[in-house]
C-alpha cells in the first residue's frame, strides 16, 4: 500500500492575478509533490496534487500564510493516484 495520496483541490478567493499558481508550483517542488495547477474561467484555481498527506497539508498551510493570496473557500476530494506522473506543472 502506498503512503501517497492524490487530491483534486479547488480554491476560491483572491487566487488569480496574485501569483497563486507560481507559489503553489514552487511549494509543490519544495515538498516533492507531483501534479498540476490552473486558473479556471469562473475565477477559481484548480489543482491536483499527489504526495504524502502531511506534505500536502504543509503546502496548504504555507499558502494561507502568503500576504497576497486569500483563500476564502477550498474543496478537496481524494482521487486515484497516477503512477506515471513526474513533476509539477502549471497548466495554461
Catalytic residues: 21, 39
**C-alpha to C-alpha distance for 47 and 34, rounded to whole angstroms:** 10
**C-alpha to C-alpha distance for 35 and 70, rounded to whole angstroms:** 22
Pairing relation of β-strands 45-51 and 70-79? unpaired
Residue 41 has which C-alpha cell? 474561467
Amino acid at each position: 500500500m502506498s503512503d501517497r495520496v492524490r487530491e483534486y483541490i479547488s480554491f476560491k478567493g483572491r487566487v488569480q492575478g496574485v501569483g497563486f499558481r507560481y507559489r503553489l508550483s514552487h511549494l509543490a517542488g519544495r515538498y516533492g509533490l507531483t501534479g498540476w495547477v490552473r486558473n479556471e474561467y469562473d475565477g477559481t484555481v484548480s489543482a491536483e496534487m499527489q504526495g504524502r498527506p502531511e506534505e500536502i497539508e504543509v503546502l496548504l498551510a504555507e499558502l494561507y500564510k502568503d500576504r497576497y493570496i486569500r483563500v476564502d473557500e477550498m474543496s478537496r476530494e481524494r482521487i486515484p493516484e497516477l503512477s506515471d506522473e513526474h513533476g509539477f506543472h502549471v497548466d495554461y
